[in-house]
């Protein structure tokens, strides 16, 4: 089965922060179950889950296993926040299975490894590199309502930090229940947030240190 987008007349050309993401499916390898499965964004929404799409260039490369291993260390924390973690590359599900088996750095990877061999999903999230046919290092967080709330894209030579991803998801899960508030830089759970108002203009220092 190929990647399948649910299309409509209002579907954007590219994913945009603050805008809904169309439902789609992807074939995947599930390390936790040891077999093949399918990622279904529509099903995740019905379950009320956050979706984290973690694009990387290719299996059997060099920075990629370090990133997936790092992500695996925070996988349980993200699950506790109600998030489904999905890694994505343009490799086949068979390649994912072989790489997961061969590469010792991936022994703790339990999240689903989705396949985008046609590049359709990668193009929609604007991480597709037309010169190489690979995906750049893109991380996208989609809330349970199907809205893209966070987007990060790195070039091939810089790996990401799973701790910062967890912090972003923590902030976004807090804000979905407190929409009048905003989280300042480096905010972590339990720290002070801000509630913007006209009296705070030019007085953010005072608001944070009151």
Neighbours of 5 (CB within 10 A): 15
d(CA 38, CA 3): 10
b/e sequence 52-81, b meaning 16+ C-beta within 10 Å: bbbbbbbbebebbbebbbbbbebbeebeeb
Identify whether 64 is a catalytic site residue.
Answer: yes
Q: Residues 128, 122: contact at Cβ < 8 Å?
A: yes
Catalytic residue among 15, 26, 64, 72: 64
Q: Residues 57, 149: contact at Cβ < 8 Å?
A: no
Active site amino acids:
64
């Amino acid at each position: 089965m190929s990647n399948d987008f649910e299309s409509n007349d209002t579907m954007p050309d590219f994913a945009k922060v603050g805008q809904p993401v169309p439902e789609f499916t992807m074939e995947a390898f599930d390390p936790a179950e040891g077999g093949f499965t399918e990622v279904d964004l529509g099903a995740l929404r019905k379950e009320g889950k956050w979706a984290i799409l973690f694009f990387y260039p290719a299996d059997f490369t060099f920075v990629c296993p370090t990133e997936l291993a790092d992500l695996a260390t925070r996988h349980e924390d993200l699950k506790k926040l109600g998030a489904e973690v999905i890694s994505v590359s343009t490799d086949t599900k068979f390649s994912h299975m072989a790489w997961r088996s061969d590469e010792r750095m991936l022994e703790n990877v339990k999240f689903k490894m989705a396949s985008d061999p046609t590049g359709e999903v990668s193009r929609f999230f604007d991480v597709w590199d037309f010169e190489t046919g690979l995906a750049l290092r893109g991380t996208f967080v989609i809330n349970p309502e199907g809205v893209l709330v966070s987007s990060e894209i790195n070039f091939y030579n810089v790996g990401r930090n799973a701790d910062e991803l967890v912090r972003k998801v923590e902030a976004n899960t807090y804000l979905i229940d407190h929409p009048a508030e905003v989280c300042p830089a480096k905010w972590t759970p339990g720290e002070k947030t801000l509630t913007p108002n006209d009296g705070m203009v030019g007085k953010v220092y005072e608001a944070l240190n009151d």
